[in-house]
Amino acid sequence: MRVFLLALAAILSLAPSLQAQSGSGNTPVQDLLQVHRALIEKGSRKSIAPAIDAIATSGLPAAQTVLQTWQSKDMWQREEDGLFFRAEEIAKKTYRLYDFDSGDAVGDYDKDALDQLKPNSGVRAMIGTALVVFQLSDPDPARRRDALDALQRDAEASHLAPLRASLEGETDPEIKARKEQLATLLTLRFGADDTARIAAIESISTDISLDARAALNMLLTTSREIAQGPVPQGVNVAAILTPGEDMPEAEAYAMLADKGLAPPRLSPDDIRNTLAAHIDGGKVGGVPLAALNTDAARATAYAALVEAGLAPAQPTEAAIKEALAAHTIYDAYAEPSAAVTAAAEDALAAIKTRVGLNQMLDLALDGISLASIFFLAAIGLAITFGVMGVINMAHGEFIMMGAYTGYVVQQLIPNYTVSILVALPLAFAVTFAAGVAMERLVIRWLYNRPLETLLATFGISIALQQIAKNIFGTQARPLTSPGWLDGAWVMNDVVSISYIRIAIFVLALTFLALFLFIMKRTRLGLETRAVTQNPRMAASMGINPDRVNMLTFGLGSGIAGIAGVAIGLFAKVTSELGSDYIVQSFMTVVVGGVGNIWGTLAGAAMIGFLQKGIEWMNPSNTLAAQTYMIIFIIIFIQFRPRGIIALKGRAAGD
Amino acid sequence: MTRQPFIARNPSLLIFLACLALFTLLVTVFSEAMGTGLISTSFVKTLGKTLCLCLVAIAMDLVWGYAGILSLGHFAFFGLGGYMIGMWLMYARTRDIVVTSMANAEIPPTDAEVISGIGNQIFGVVGSSDFPLIWAFSHSLTLQLILVVAVPGLLALVFGWLAFRSRVTGVYLSILTQAMTLALALYLFQNDSGLRGNNGLSGLQNLPGADAIPQATISLWFLWASALALALGYGFATWVVSGKFGSVLRGIRDDEARVRFLGYSVEGYKLFIFTVTAIIAAIAGALYYPQAGIINPAEIAPIASIYLAVWVAIGGRGRLYGAVIGAAFVSLVSTWFTGGQVPSIPLGFYTVDWVDWWLVLLGLSFVLVTLFAPKGIGGLFDLITDRQSPMRHGQDLGPDQGALQEKEADS
């Protein structure tokens, strides 16, 4: 190439007339282009490299513009003098030309007076590679990031040098880190020698990012090959497969047959089609058609056809075994260097262990977040069911009412942050009122008849659900979370948790604290506990059990409303929102143990972690996870019928 | 003391059977199949389905009204029965279709080809073509009929044994049964459950080999079969609750501990009644779904079982005819309202469209029935028969919190 450049330099010195022709002494890029004019006009991938290199390394301010214009096929050549310009179509068949050096418009020309340069895709890719150098050291950080993104998507060996070169001048620490990572990833793929590549591989063996894993996996791509006899020399073998052990014999033989190394095994369909093609007077191979409804009869008929030389013979088992024995099936690495693939395998194994640990952490976070959702949904139920012994099947509908309250508030107050802050107390107020009304009108008359309470509240539940459907329609309503709750807290490529879930976790903790405070530190809590333990005694101490029951029920319902707002933030608000959670909520309370907030917490944690755990084992199927979880709970109840934390002695009430 | 004959002790049985016979006769006479066409075929099917719902309501009444076990999972057994018969119907019908289509081929198909063709037809919608293990018996009507009884019966037996053994009672049991039916529904919703996921089994109204017979006639056959099953079920239930066994059941309902201390095996009684009612429900389901034509997992969602409790409560639990009346009344009225045949009520500012508001009406009337008329519609018969409630001055019947109060336990 150097010789070539020298030759070009010679041409440059011999062509003063060209410079004069360009009309101005201050046109370095145009001059450069004219020097390489022949190569640029030819536009062949094989010979274009010196021209591109010359432009890219010229250090001229307009070089990047030229390359971009050229790449996007906007560079045109004026036929009269052969000068290159950037052109814009200003009218049909009329183009305005701009000078590269000054950026000024040169004039408007008809299309016939111009030639468009149409670099083919190979040339464009080369220009792109050259451009990366400019973009990687572009003053605008956004451009640099774009260039890195582009490199990450589609890297080539030639990118490595400019990337390394740009490392020096990088000022932004974040981009610098990315560049370094990318340089490592490129080194392990395109590095000069095995030592450098293995060093790069080892340096990322603690990196669990998706890019690192993808790069390693790319190194380890294998293809399945067949060789006659042993594996040929010089192939980097990943594994040799024994038919019957590593892969089914039928599959192995089908591979042989596909490559034309053995006669194919005939499927029943093939046999039937062959038979159908040789029907002769109601018979095939001497067997009447009507008798061909068993595999044995078909085999006989087919054998007769083979005998007559009309059909290929089905390979025998012995022939198949022999063919398989004569060939070796192996997985070969695309990467020729065994040392590199071995290092990559080791690195990948180390990364997998790390990823596994991180996945456990991620799973635990998911479990906590699911547990807090169940806890939020169940805490109101824990009050009404656990403390008062009232089964409230409409609890799910209170959750739904809370969510719809949030939705309505958002329609009135456009600011999402304010609307959530308004919606939380308002949802509490709405469902508190609904709960108090329900207690006064229905539940009061049904104390001591838990099954009737269950049914009556179910009646209310279907009525409320249908009313919600009538008001808001059947389609899901959005409850948008404020902007600061968008996004997720990303620890690395494996562990992340969305801010909404963190917020729900915090909300659940808040309610746990609030519940404990109300029950242990306030008058209402004291009275509630008294009425729960012995209503008559409490009444004779001057406590009004009716009032206490009403307030307790209202409190439980109000918390359901707030849970509704929280759930609505990540689930779609529909009239069926509540019924999706009601069974799980009851499960939580029952599994945890009735009448004890810590039991509810334990129940929620158990169900949340269990469901996530089962989902992890069978990731594609949340339905199955729920099924198995419910079955587990049914069995769990066998062993602890009163829940995880069971009340003992007289407090248990039996 | 000499015992009166069974019929004399249970006058309601004869009256019920007479009413049922009359009803069946009238429907038959006025049906399309008999030429008059006053009752359309689809309505005959609706009536036939209603009879099946009455049967499952009787099962619910036995287990809840008499034994005090509020099961919120009996529709799971109903649905399972439907699935079991549906498997045979679908298999046999598809086989007919596949055999017909393959008969044109030049070379007659082998058995394996026919079966794989059926598998393709049935499981194509869930992206599979192989028969899962649970379809192993689907080729035989007899075996599948046995499964109609065996599968739900076994499920109820195992579930009941687990639940009653650990003395799960009251609302806990209700929630547990609800969880069971939810688990089953969720399981069946999966595509790889082997029962076509949420597509369910369809085309069940076409009896295999009966293509020539019009649906009008078939619907009538099913009506008769349903009526017969209902009559037998009613008779069986009357027999079960009228003897000593029934007395023990009511004893368990009113005070389980007391019955246990008297030396009865409460768990055994509960397990028996739970399993038997599950089987009755399954038989009802097996008759229901060929008339409905399609079954999918949504049918056994927890809500369905709660509706069953609603029917029995509105009809009047603790009396068999109450359950029948409740199921028939609520499901027929529900069909009437949701069918859009009830005129809307214009209120000026808003028009009450009953298709939308029927569930609200049902829910609220259910609350009212629970609050003010715990005896349900069946309680009206007490006015005719002048039955007096014993005066207990409002005391409850036993020391247990869950015991029935006087005004609801005197049936």
pLDDT bin (cut points 50, 70, 90) of residue A15 is very low
Same domain for A195 and A287, yes or no, is: no
pLDDT-derived band at A25, boundaries 50, 70, 90: low
What is the percent of chain B with per-residue pLDDT over 70, rounded to a whole number?
93
In a domain, A610, yes or no: yes
Closest residue to A462, CB basis, from B356, B363, B374: B363
Location of structure tokens 């062993």: A639
Q: H-helix or E-strand containing A110?
A: strand A105-110
Whether A187 and A241 share a structural domain: no
A462 and B109 within 8 Å at the Cβ level: the answer is: no
Q: Which residue has the higher pLDDT, B104 or A438?
A: A438
Say whether pLDDT at B395 is over 70. Answer: no
What average pLDDT does this structure show over A266-291?
Answer: 80
| Domain co-membership, A557 together with A460 | yes
Residue B387 has which token pair? 């039955």
- Would you tell me how many other CB atoms lie within 10 Å of the CB of residue B257? 13
* Residue that the structure tokens 């007076």 belong to: A113
Per the DSSP assignment, residues forming a β-bridge with A327 are: A228
**With contacts defined as CB-CB under 8 Å, which chain A residues touch B166?**
637-639, 641
- Quote the number of domains for chain A: 4
Q: Is B172 at the interface with chain A, CB within 8 A?
A: yes
pLDDT of A287 reads 79
pLDDT at A83: 83
Residue A21 confidence (pLDDT): 43
- Tens of pLDDT, residue by residue over A224-249, are 888 887 888 778 888 888 887 888 88
Lowest mean pLDDT among A143-152, B197-206, B292-301, B332-341: A143-152
A628 and A569 in a common domain: yes
End residue of a domain, out of A170, A200, A219: A219
Residues A258, A212 share a domain: no
What the block records as the tokens of A492 is 């690395």
Residue A228 and residue A311 in one domain: yes
Q: What is the mean pLDDT of residues A373-397?
A: 84
Q: What's the pLDDT score for residue B76?
A: 94
pLDDT at A23: 45
Q: Is the pLDDT of residue B80 over 90?
A: yes
- Give residue-wise pLDDT tens across range B264-314: 999 999 999 999 999 999 999 999 999 999 999 998 988 889 889 889 988
Could A272 and B187 be called an inter-chain contact, meaning their C-beta atoms sit closer than 8 Å?
no
Supply the pLDDT for residue A484.
Answer: 83
Please indicate if any CB of chain B lies within 8 Å of the CB of A452. yes
pLDDT digits (tens, 9 = 90+) for A33-87: 888 888 887 777 778 878 887 777 777 777 778 888 888 888 888 888 888 888 8
Q: How would DSSP label each residue in A539-585?
A: HHTT--HHHHHHHHHHHHHHHHHHHHHHHHHHS-B-TTHHHHHHHHH
Indicate if A322 and A185 belong to the same structural domain: no
| pTM of the complete model | 0.77
Answer for the pair B91, B292: CB distance below 8 angstroms, yes or no: no
Do B357 and A470 count as a contact with CB atoms less than 8 A apart? yes
Evaluate whether B139 touches A359 at the Cβ level (below 8 Å).
no
Q: Which of A172, A194, A219 is the last residue of a domain?
A: A219
For A602, half-sphere exposure in the C-beta direction (CA atoms, 13 angstrom radius) is: 14
Predicted ipTM > 0.90: no
Give the pLDDT confidence score for residue B387 in this predicted structure. Answer: 66
In this prediction, residue A5 has a pLDDT band, given cuts at 50, 70 and 90, of low
pLDDT bracket for residue B88 (50, 70, 90): very high
Min Cα distance B187 → chain A (Å) is 6
3-state SS track over A319-342: HHHHHHHHEEEEEEECCCCHHHHH
Are the beta carbons of A456 and B167 separated by less than 8 Å?
no
Among the partner-chain residues A272, A295, A590, the one whose CB lies closest to the CB of B175 is A590
> Which H or E element spans position A97?
strand A94-98
* A347 falls within a domain: no
In a shared domain, residues A171 and A190: yes
Asked if the structure places residue A130 within a domain, the reply is no
For residue A489, what are the contacts with CB-CB under 8 A and spacing of at least 6?
Answer: A496, A497, A498, A499, A502
Within-domain flag for A131:
no
Query: Touching check for B43 and chain A: CB below 8 Å?
Result: no
Q: Looking at A302, A334, A366, which one is the last position of a domain?
A: A334
pLDDT band at A14 (very low <50, low <70, confident <90, very high): very low
User: Phi first, then psi: what are they for A45, rounded to 5°?
Assistant: -60, -30
The whole-number pLDDT of residue B2 equals 60
What CATH number does residue A560 fall under? 1.10.3470
pLDDT(A425) > 90: yes
Does B360 contact A637 at a Cβ distance shorter than 8 Å? no
Is position A344 within any domain? no
**pLDDT on residue A647:** 62
In chain A, residues with a C-beta closer than 8 Å to the C-beta of B407 are none
The 10s digit of each residue's pLDDT in A158-201 is 777 777 777 777 778 888 888 888 888 878 777 777 888 888 88
Which of helix, strand or coil describes residue B73? Answer: coil
Q: Establish how many alpha carbons lie within 13 A of residue B11's alpha carbon, considering only the half-sphere containing its beta carbon.
A: 1
Residue A168's domain comprises 137-219
Residue A615 maps to a domain? yes
- Do A602 and A619 lie in one domain? The reply is yes
State pLDDT tens for residues A552-597.
Answer: 899 889 999 998 998 888 888 888 888 878 878 888 888 887 777 8
| Chain segment B46-62, per-residue pLDDT in tens | 999 999 999 999 999 99
| Residues A235, A204 share a domain | no
Whether residue B261 has pLDDT greater than 50: yes
Q: Do B182 and A276 touch (CB under 8 A)?
A: no
pLDDT of residue A654: 42
- The band of B159, judged by pLDDT with boundaries at 50, 70 and 90, is very high
pLDDT of residue A116: 82
Does the beta carbon of B158 lie under 8 angstroms from any beta carbon of chain A?
A: no
Q: Which of the four pLDDT bands, split at 50, 70 and 90, describes residue B402?
A: very low
How close B179 gets to chain A, by Cα (Å)? Answer: 6
Q: pLDDT at position B394, please?
A: 47
Q: What is the mean pLDDT of residues A381-386?
A: 80
Per-residue pLDDT tens digits for B163-212? 888 888 777 888 889 888 988 998 898 887 888 888 889 888 888 877 78
- Average pLDDT across chain A, whole number: 81
Q: Are B218 and B207 in contact, with CB atoms under 8 Å apart?
A: yes
Identify whether residues A485 and A559 lie together within a single domain. Answer: yes
